[in-house]
Amino acid sequence: MTLVLPPTPDSLRLAADLLRQGRLVAFPTETVYGLGAAAENPAAVRAMFAAKGRPADHPVIVHLSQASQLRDWAAEVPPPAERLAAAFWPGPLTLVLRRNKRASDLVTGGLETVGLRVPSHPVARELLQQFGGGIAAPSANRFGRVSPTTAEHVLSELDGPVDLILDGGPCTVGLESTIVDLSRGLPALLRPGCITAEQLVAVLGPLSIPEASVAPRVSGSLESHYAPQACVELIEPDRLAARATQLAAQNLKVAVLSRGESLAALPESVVVIALPNDDAELGHMLYAALRRVDELECNVALATLPIEQGIGAAVADRLRKAAGPRAVS
Ligand code: TXA
Ligand code: MG
């Protein structure tokens, strides 16, 4: 049975106790909801992988209550990591560092590095503080699906295997954390997010942005990820209406994710889901919109890409992945 509780002092104590007992607790962060397990409890981490249906060789992020715990998990903390932690923690940034022994193969997927993050969401912070240790937490969705930005999203996919969901309302950022690899050579941006490449460069200097294919095993770097059931098709703004009309004529149920493009004269069967034009707002709304496409049982969702600057780069990355070729399952 999955409990859903508001984050009161009692439910936060219960959540920390459950984690100590090796149980699974979903909790809000400022990015997306995480599916938490005690990072040093192998049985708990295994149960978390099983609940998600995630392959064992995919590493998970260890969440910490403060930057001073970095040394508990990382073999070394190079100066750029110190600078990023000072600039952006607590916040939506994950650092990949060389691991120390506390970071087991289960958590790192056998890699020699570990992903570490100090989130800023008050509920996440309180839970981390009460629990004391590291909480291993991937996004609280089934593997390959859209990350949850509300407690209802978590419940819709993980009712049963998760013991408690702390309902902290909708996540403010709505996109997963920015991931920077500082474990070798030039710092590398593994996953764009709300902390933008421009902000990272201002603190770090040069930053490499590797092609997904050469990046280490980042599940978010699979070609299709963060995807709804419906097919997602990316299209130029001026072709949106014509393509929607064409698909609707093939008896497909079509959703248009619209950021205010002119959409005169669409067939009646086409659903228009209005999205904000502001990039931060768009990031905040995107996953709820992709889930809405499935709730409405659409076959296809048409979307346009925002300009790839700032948070727009992260939104475009997630839309490309949602539209990417799918593995046959
Ligand atoms: O915002 C977020 O990052 C959320 C919240 C809950 O913290 N978490 C999240 O976790 O998105 P997940 O597991 O869905 O995505 C984390 C990504 C995965 O793609 C994983 O492969 C990558 O981080 N990752 C974790 N540790 C890594 C490592 N040592 N090296 C490279 N990539 C790593
Ligand atoms: Mg995920």
Q: What angle do CA 170, 175, 180 make, to 5 degrees?
A: 140
pLDDT 10s digits, 88-142: 999 999 999 999 999 999 999 999 999 999 999 999 999 999 999 999 999 999 9
Whether the per-residue pLDDT at 72 is higher than 60: the answer is: yes
Please tell me what DSSP assigns to residue 305: P
**Ligand 1 atom index nearest CA of 173:** 1
Exposed / middle / buried, residue 178 (Cβ in 10 Å: 0-12, 13-18, 19+):
buried
- Domain spanning 3-204, CATH class: alpha beta
What are the tokens at 250?
């093939």
Does the Cβ of 58 fall within 6 Å of ligand 1?
Answer: yes
Does the Cβ of 117 fall within 6 Å of ligand 1?
Answer: yes
pLDDT 10s digits, 217-226: 555 555 567 8
Whether the per-residue pLDDT at 230 is higher than 60: the answer is: yes
Does the Cβ of 120 fall within 6 Å of ligand 1?
Answer: no
Domain 231-322 classified CATH 3.40.50.11030? yes
Does the Cβ of 178 fall within 6 Å of ligand 1?
Answer: no
What are the tokens at 220?
């978010």
Alpha helix (H) residue ranges in 159-301? 197-204, 240-249, 279-295
> Tell me, what's the pLDDT at 237?
93
Confidence of residue 213 (pLDDT cuts 50, 70, 90): very low
Sign of CA dihedral 220, 138, 59, 135: positive
176: helix, coil or strand?
coil
pLDDT 10s digits, 235-285: 999 999 999 999 999 999 999 999 988 787 899 999 999 999 999 999 999
> Tell me, what's the pLDDT at 329?
43
What are the tokens at 36?
């938490």
Does the Cβ of 60 fall within 6 Å of ligand 1?
Answer: yes
What is the rounded average pLDDT for all residues in the chain? Answer: 94
Whether the per-residue pLDDT at 216 is higher than 80: the answer is: no
Choice from 218, 287, 311, 318 to test ligand 1 binding pocket (greatest atom count within 8 A of CB): 218
Does the Cβ of 139 fall within 6 Å of ligand 1?
Answer: yes
Token pair 């995919």: residue: 58
> Tell me, what's the pLDDT at 260?
86
pLDDT 10s digits, 7-45: 999 999 999 999 999 999 999 999 999 999 999 999 999
Does the Cβ of 176 fall within 6 Å of ligand 1?
Answer: yes
Whether the per-residue pLDDT at 301 is higher than 70: the answer is: yes
- The answer to whether the 3-204 and 231-322 domains have the same CATH topology is no
Choice from 54, 60, 88, 108 to test ligand 1 binding pocket (greatest atom count within 8 A of CB): 60
Whether the per-residue pLDDT at 62 is higher than 90: the answer is: yes
> Tell me, what's the pLDDT at 218?
54
> Tell me, what's the pLDDT at 212?
60
Choice from 30, 48, 52, 61 to test ligand 1 binding pocket (greatest atom count within 8 A of CB): 61
Going from N- to C-terminal start, the domains of the chain cover: 3-204, 231-322
Does the Cβ of 69 fall within 6 Å of ligand 1?
Answer: no
